[in-house]
Structure 1
């Protein structure tokens, strides 16, 4: 019988959800991810040399597909899969499709077929990975795009993955986090944004499951993010100090 007889219950663990974390280069995104539960980095670009972590270098799409097949067997200790970065993985997918169809550019196939083939291949693989029983985190760099309304033009921070891939990723993940450096009277501090704003892309679909709303701004600290996710609090004198901010590798 394929039809359900009971309602599903909201998932309770952070590792049951998918996350997109994007921001400025070298701000500490990889360090943030390295604090997660038994992470495995699928590294599509350099940047992990100063971190102690489990890493698979992913120079091309074929390697990525093979690694996903290994992960699906479940014979490993990893609890979180980190794609670092999803921007470069999209490029690997595009190169794979172009080589497979012997074209130089996506537009070489008529009626937008080249673009659609890339989107289909990318979606198929990422969707299968997201359905595995592990946490999935994708990192991205940031682009500033102009958003015009009737009154003004706003520069909005968005993930730098091309629009076709961005739409797939944003529609798939449960939490979108924007990391940035903010200048204050005491100097620059690094923070994460978890709620949508006209100036950045962010969001959280887990608030109903946990009966809470993530704070719109948190220190760039996985410890602080995890506490907020589980709606935990700390004594006031130990919360939010400089030691709670993850330092970039």
Structure 2
């Protein structure tokens, strides 16, 4: 795994251990002997960060615990981070395999941006099937193949014992009600990726600011005007766009009876 970095953090080791039992010559995973402990570190969760360009999404992700950026576009020049540039879907699959198999110190994987990565997946599936666009295969088969390929790889990555952060930009869409039309901020994700990413994410944070001179913050709860989400149900509606402050809020949320929902 080729990783570019400007700082001197030395790679350590992290390995995934799965308990198995041999039955009839076939190794099968054992059933768990105890409950999974609640996760208290924000960097252990699956998070979707979205917002308009240059609002600070990548900066916030860089504050996570030992992050590795899978960079699908330029935009990290002002940050001192470990990053792997990815330009194709096969390159992404190779990086995922390396993350799974190689010894390393990374604890959080950041995909910046997930929208571009989906485009790489789409291009790969189209090329593999000899078509220029998904719609060329009848009955929605092209779109289904792209969705399944994307789902397979992202789900496998999400099951590793690492935190996972998706970054994408925001779109403004018009939502019409019986009386008014509302401009709503939503993650800039294709339909085939939107459901998977938003459902998988424990937190959907809208990185926002009231105006260019205002302090930047994150929105954690959904409204008519934006998409957001907090699986704990206990975070404040707004938080400073700062990892330490968000972690403090999560600590307070986890102290409440029931913990994560």
Which TM-score applies when normalising by structure 2? Answer: 0.82
Aligned positions of 1:161-176 closer than 5 A: 161-176=189-204
CA apart distance, 1:215: 0.9
- Corresponding residue number in structure 1 for 2:186: 158
Given candidates 223, 227, 232, the residue that maps to 2:248 is: 227
- Corresponding residue number in structure 2 for 1:58: 86
Given candidates 125, 128, 145, the residue that maps to 1:97 is: 125
- Corresponding residue number in structure 1 for 2:217: 191
Is 2:169 the counterpart of 1:141?
A: yes
CA–CA distance in structure 1, aligned partners of residues 173 and 224 of structure 2: 11
CA apart distance, 1:161: 1.2
CA apart distance, 1:3: 5.0
- Corresponding residue number in structure 1 for 2:51: 23
CA–CA distance in structure 1, aligned partners of residues 62 and 153 of structure 2: 23
- Corresponding residue number in structure 2 for 1:245: none
SS in 2 for 1:161: coil
RMSD of aligned alpha carbons: 1.7
CA–CA distance in structure 2, aligned partners of residues 124 and 200 of structure 1: 28
Which TM-score applies when normalising by structure 1? Answer: 0.86
Given candidates 192, 201, 205, the residue that maps to 2:227 is: 201
- Corresponding residue number in structure 2 for 1:85: 113
- Corresponding residue number in structure 1 for 2:141: 113
Is the Cα contact below 8 Å between 2:46 and 2:201 reproduced in 1?
yes
Is the Cα contact below 8 Å between 2:41 and 2:247 reproduced in 1?
no
Q: Unaligned stretches of 5+ in structure 2?
A: 1-28, 254-261
Q: Unaligned stretches of 5+ in structure 1?
A: 208-212, 233-249
CA apart distance, 1:7: 4.3
SS in 1 for 2:105: coil
Q: CA distance change for structure 1 residues 7 and 134 in 2, over 3 Å: closer, same or farther?
A: closer
CA–CA distance in structure 1, aligned partners of residues 244 and 33 of structure 2: 38
Is the Cα contact below 8 Å between 1:182 and 1:191 reproduced in 2?
no
Q: CA distance change for structure 1 residues 193 and 90 in 2, over 3 Å: closer, same or farther?
A: same
1:76-113: CA deviations, max 9, x gaps?
Answer: 01010000000100100000000000101110001000
CA apart distance, 1:196: 1.1
- Corresponding residue number in structure 1 for 2:67: 39
